[in-house]
Amino acid sequence: MSDATADPRFAAARAAPRRRLRLSWSDPTFRAIVWQVVIVGLVAAVIGYLVHNTNQNLAARHIATGFGFLDRVAGIPIGEALVPYNPAVNTYGRALLVGVLNTLKVAVVGIVLATILGTVIGIGRLSSNWLLAKLTAFYVETLRDIPLLLQLLFWYTVLQSLPAPRQSIRVGDVFLSNRGIKIPLLELQPAHEWAALAFLVGLVGTVLWNRHAARQQEATGVRPRVWPVGLALMVALPLVVWAIFGAPLTFEVPVLRGFNFQGGGSLSPEYFALLLGLVTYTAAYIAEIVRSGIQAVPQGQWEAAGALGLRSGMVLRKVILPQALRVIVPPMTSQYLNLTKNSSLAVAIGYQDIVSIANTTLNQTGQAIEGIAVIMAVYLTISLSISLFMNWYNARIALVER
Amino acid sequence: MSDTVATAEPGYAAARERPPAGLVGPWAWARANLFSSWWSTAITLVLVYVILRALVGFVEWAFVNAIWSVPYNAQGRPDTAVCQNAKGIGACWAIIGDKYRLILFGRYPYEEQWRPAICVLLFIGLYVVSAMRRFWRKELALIWIATLAVIGVLMWGGVFGLQEVPEDYWGGLPITLILATFGLAFAFPLSVLVALGRRSKLPAIKLLCVLYVELIRGVPLISVLFMASVMFPLFMPAGVNVDKLLRAQIAFILFAGAYLAEVVRGGLQALPKGQSEAADAMGLTYWQKTGLIILPQALRLVIPPLVNTFIGFFKDTSLVLIIGLFDLLTMGKVALSDPPWQSFSTEVYVVLAIIYICFCFAMSKYSRGLEQDLNRARRR
């Protein structure tokens, strides 16, 4: 076998001199080298040919390559930006940064919401209530069989057909109109910042107390209660701090002025449609993952944990979930990646994510290769980061074997 | 064990008393499955209310208050005033009656639209034949080649007295099916090669395959489509112009190839190593081993996930809307751009969704049935 000849240990054990490479087709090592040289050569030739053509075409069209265009003034109007952006002064580089942030904005919020909704639906499918199980199954089946793009277009039309701001639907101080959703915003004051700080302190304190409780349990077998301490540190402490500062609570309420609202926070119809579509679509897939993950834990585990006298919350937390998560996490990672990649469909409904802005950029400047390279680099970076994080998490919860 | 034997014997069953009336029949079922606890009862009541409201609302919108046809004026233009009045109360299905040929077949010459219609039927026939296990033989490849050739002749024409129709006039459902089917037909062999390459012992080939798969899987399909529509013309020598449909098709093949390769690799990995070692011991060459021993078993293992991947691609074909190709979804939007019909998008989207659901649901149902079948065979 080819392995034996290539394996240096065998050669050493036999104390025979390393066999010389014969220039013959019947030598597997020689064959392997020839195959690789041929295939790599072919690929290199094709790439070289394409690069040659591209250079000629670019020269013929007088397009300069390189990323110099990033420093030029963009002039792309952008509806929503997380960082200050002015089309008249800011550069393409800045516009692309806005696009990246918009992509992250929809991806991060979408991942969190899709996980919550998907988990609820996945558990619903396992419900002993027949109606609930059938309804959630219907949800999963239908949503998975309709192209996401169609769903996005549908949601976008629905949001656009809402009444104009003057006749907007009002729920409390939340206004729903074809200009998007307007919500009251908390007016930030020092008290809130101190309260947030107190919450962080409380969080750290709870984690420390939890560790202490674990040590105590190992030493004495009795676990001190954690939740009262957590409640006191993470809820009561911030509330007390907030009250000390006079408990300020004022909201900036959106007000109708002329044809649109002023003040308050807002979600644009494009963002909301994209988020709604992504979350409902991905949740259908996540529901299936959660369901199969929970079903993968044998019934005997519940019974055995119960026989040990664990309370049902403990059974779920200490026995079922750790085992279910092992099945759930790897496919969940790929759903998160899918959601992030699917957020590029934003371009179809006019939400300005990285794909949309890079596309406008390459249309304006003619820098097609650089534009596509930017898109690919951004997504590869995001994908790799999610993969790395989820792999780290997966390794943490993985079964420790020998 | 003894229980099942006992009930199976008629004498015992007769001798046994019937279960109490409270444990059988619809009431008992409802008590067990809908009202088992106060919590379950609450859920049931809320859901019944919500479902009834939604169902009644939908039936009223889609059937009771729906407008099925509108009058046409002297110029043959539809007069949609009735529909405008009914907006929000009833559906306007008249738009479907007016536009279904456009949505299904695009701008294909009107008198020639029987040709794409036959192509759609051929595609469906091809799927049905491929789904039947009786046809899982080498001849299936020939059936595919023959059918795809017939479809090509029908769509292009120019021979056998058929009028020639260039690709620019194709549209609607045939484009969706062409992109999905041709994409799969070419991506599948590519993916098998890439999957084999990724498991190869030759480092250079392995590296190439890993790079290809990970690069494509790391970026969204849109960027690959953009690349095909924007960068592809730059790659070609001056004067060579590759058609838009073909460019999108190539992008799909490259994209699908990477995803399918991962599915196939899963099958290769699931195969016990002994199979490969046994083949080596028999003195088979690499290609004999792969073609006769490894692939037949590995591919059989991954048929259900392959079908699922195919469902994904079928839905993904709708993305060509973004690069301006006239598939089913794009034609729906084109139909909606006609001024009299502009505000009736929901109706069109519902119909498009039903078409997509029909295809995808059939495939997923089939994939699940197949999975159970194959599992049963393996369990024995």
> Residues B146, B45: one domain?
no
User: Mean pLDDT across chain B, nearest whole number?
Assistant: 84
Among A170-179, A190-199, B129-138, B189-198, which range has the highest average pLDDT? B189-198
Among A222-231, A309-318, A320-329, A338-347, which range has the highest average pLDDT? A338-347
Whether B345 has a pLDDT exceeding 60, the answer reads: yes
- Cα dihedral A171, A176, A180, A183 in deg (nearest 10): -20
Q: Chain B contact for A380, CB < 8 A?
A: yes
Chain B partners within 8 Å of A54 (Cβ):
231, 234-235
CA of B357: how far to CAs of A142, B51, B184, in Å? Answer: 7, 21, 19
> Residues B58, B180: one domain?
no
Q: A163 in the Ramachandran plot: left (φ > 0), alpha (ψ -120 to 50) or beta? A: beta
B62 CB-side CA count, 13 A: 11
Which among B51, B318, B357 is the nearest to A145, CB-wise? B357
Strand partners, A252: A185
> Residues B326, B246: one domain?
yes
Axis crossing angle, helix B345-379 with helix A130-144, rounded to the nearest 10: 110
Residue of B nearest to A157 (CA): B345
The pLDDT of residue A304: 92
Largest Cα–Cα distance in chain A? 93
Q: Chain B contact for A54, CB < 8 A?
A: yes
Determine phi and psi for A176, rounding to 5 degrees: -115, 115
Asked if B36 lies within 8 A of A375 by C-beta distance, the reply is: no
On whether residue B278 sits in a domain, the answer given is yes
B269 CB-side CA count, 13 A: 10
CA of B85: how far to CAs of B59, B65, B66, B67, B344, in Å? Answer: 18, 11, 11, 10, 12
How far apart CA A311 and CA A309 sit, in angstroms, is 6
On whether residue B264 sits in a domain, the answer given is yes
Q: What is the DSSP letter of B88?
A: T
Alpha-helical (H) ranges within chain B are 2-8, 10-15, 25-33, 38-59, 81-86, 94-105, 114-131, 139-156, 173-198, 203-218, 221-226, 232-235, 244-270, 273-281, 286-288, 295-301, 303-316, 328-336, 345-379
Which among B40, B315, B343 is the nearest to A129, CB-wise? B40
Give which of A149, A145, A133, A112 is closest to A279, Cα–Cα. A112
Q: Chain B contact for A332, CB < 8 A?
A: no
On whether residue B314 sits in a domain, the answer given is yes
Give which of A346, A325, A334 is closest to A386, Cα–Cα. A334
How far apart CA A94 and CA A96 sit, in angstroms, is 5
Cβ-contact B303, B369 below 8 angstroms: no
On whether residue B12 sits in a domain, the answer given is no
Cβ-contact A133, A127 below 8 angstroms: yes
Tokens of A357: 């802005």
Q: How many whole angstroms from its chain centre is CA B20? A: 49
Burial class (CB in 10 A: 0-12, 13-18, 19+), A263: middle
Asked if A142 lies within 8 A of B357 by C-beta distance, the reply is: yes
Whether A75 has a pLDDT exceeding 80, the answer reads: no
The pLDDT of residue B46: 92
> Residues B30, B147: one domain?
no
On whether residue B352 sits in a domain, the answer given is yes
> Residues B118, B253: one domain?
yes
CA of A189: how far to CAs of A194, A203, A236, A242, A246, in Å? Answer: 9, 22, 19, 10, 11
CA of B144: how far to CAs of A358, B182, B253, in Å? Answer: 40, 10, 17
CB burial of B163-184 (b: ≥16 within 10 Å; e: otherwise) equals eebebeebbbbbbbbbbbbbbb
Give which of A345, A299, A347, A342 is closest to A323, Cα–Cα. A299
Mean pLDDT of the region B17-32: 76
pLDDT digits (tens, 9 = 90+) for A354-377: 998 888 888 888 788 888 888 889
Give the number of other CB atoms < 10 A from CB of residue A225.
9
Size of interface A-B (CB pairs under 8 A): 153
Mean pLDDT of the region A319-325: 86
On whether residue B152 sits in a domain, the answer given is yes
> Residues B41, B182: one domain?
no
Run of H or E residues at A261: strand A260-262
Q: Chain B contact for A379, CB < 8 A?
A: yes
How far apart CA A95 and CA A361 sit, in angstroms, is 9
The pLDDT-based confidence of A259 (bands split at 50, 70, 90) is low
Whether A274 has a pLDDT exceeding 70, the answer reads: yes
Chain A partners within 8 Å of B227 (Cβ):
372
> Residues B36, B185: one domain?
no
Which among A147, A372, A383 is the nearest to B218, CB-wise? A383
pLDDT digits (tens, 9 = 90+) for B131-148: 888 877 878 888 888 998
> Residues B301, B185: one domain?
yes
The pLDDT of residue B5: 47
Whether A320 has a pLDDT exceeding 60, the answer reads: yes
The pLDDT of residue A4: 46
How far apart CA A262 and CA A256 sit, in angstroms, is 6
How far apart CA A60 and CA B230 sit, in angstroms, is 16
pLDDT digits (tens, 9 = 90+) for B194-223: 999 988 888 888 899 988 988 898 889 988
The pLDDT-based confidence of A279 (bands split at 50, 70, 90) is very high
Quote the domain boundaries for residue B330: 94-379
Q: What is the DSSP letter of A62?
A: T
Asked if B34 lies within 8 A of A40 by C-beta distance, the reply is: no
Angle at A117 between CA A116 and CA A121, to 5 degrees: 120
The pLDDT of residue A204: 93
User: Mean pLDDT across chain A, nearest whole number?
Assistant: 84
Angle at B233 between CA B231 and CA B238, to 5 degrees: 135
Asked if B322 lies within 8 A of A341 by C-beta distance, the reply is: no
pLDDT digits (tens, 9 = 90+) for B273-327: 888 899 999 989 888 999 898 888 888 888 888 888 888 899 999 998 888 888 8
pLDDT digits (tens, 9 = 90+) for B46-75: 999 999 999 999 898 888 887 788 888 777
Tokens of B36: 């088992």
Residue of A nearest to B362 (CA): A145
Q: How many whole angstroms from its chain centre is CA A53? A: 38
How far apart CA A372 and CA A52 sit, in angstroms, is 19
pLDDT digits (tens, 9 = 90+) for B70-123: 888 777 777 777 787 777 788 888 888 888 888 888 888 888 888 889 899 999
Give which of A93, A358, A125, A152 is closest to B321, Cα–Cα. A152
The pLDDT of residue A366: 78
The pLDDT of residue B9: 54
Q: Chain B contact for A162, CB < 8 A?
A: no
Sheet strands (E) in A143-250: 169-171, 174-177, 180-183, 185-186
On whether residue B78 sits in a domain, the answer given is no
- Cα dihedral A345, A350, A351, A357 in deg (nearest 10): 90
Radius of gyration of chain B (CA): 27
The pLDDT of residue A312: 75
The pLDDT of residue B6: 47
Cβ-contact A129, B42 below 8 angstroms: no
Give which of B358, B259, B365 is closest to B302, Cα–Cα. B259
Long-range CB pairs of A52-61 (<8 Å, 24+ gap) are A53/B234, A53/B235, A53/B236, A53/B237, A53/B238, A54/A369, A54/B231, A54/B234, A54/B235, A56/B237, A56/B238, A57/B233, A57/B234, A57/B236, A57/B238, A58/B234, A60/B238, A61/A366
> Residues B326, B231: one domain?
yes
Mean pLDDT of the region B267-273: 86
Which among A131, A144, A368 is the nearest to B44, CB-wise? A131
Whether B337 has a pLDDT exceeding 80, the answer reads: yes
Whether A13 has a pLDDT exceeding 60, the answer reads: no
ipTM: 0.86
The pLDDT of residue A42: 93
Chain B partners within 8 Å of A135 (Cβ):
47, 51
On whether residue B267 sits in a domain, the answer given is yes
Chain A partners within 8 Å of B203 (Cβ):
36
Q: How many whole angstroms from its chain centre is CA B169? A: 24
Asked if A153 lies within 8 A of B223 by C-beta distance, the reply is: no
Tokens of B354: 């039903």
> Residues B277, B318: one domain?
yes
The pLDDT-based confidence of A386 (bands split at 50, 70, 90) is confident
Chain A residues 112-141 with CB within 8 Å of chain B: 127-132, 135, 141
Whether B378 has a pLDDT exceeding 90, the answer reads: no
> Residues B48, B196: one domain?
no
The pLDDT of residue A284: 94
Q: Chain B contact for A381, CB < 8 A?
A: no
Give the number of other CB atoms < 10 A from CB of residue B299.
16
Tokens of B167: 């690709």
Beta strands A185-186 and A251-252: pairing type? antiparallel
> How close A379 gets to chain B, by Cα (Å)?
6
Run of H or E residues at A252: strand A251-252
Run of H or E residues at A208: helix A190-220
Chain A partners within 8 Å of B360 (Cβ):
144-146
Across A87-96, A235-244, B235-244, least confident range:
B235-244
Cβ-contact A293, A126 below 8 angstroms: no
How far apart CA B182 and CA B160 sit, in angstroms, is 24
Tokens of A249: 């609570």
Mean pLDDT of the region B227-256: 84
Q: What percent of chain B has pLDDT over 90?
A: 20
> Residues B216, B128: one domain?
yes
Whether A17 has a pLDDT exceeding 70, the answer reads: no
> How close A178 gets to chain B, by Cα (Å)?
15
Give which of B267, B222, B230 is closest to B247, Cα–Cα. B230
The total number of structural domains that make up chain B: 2
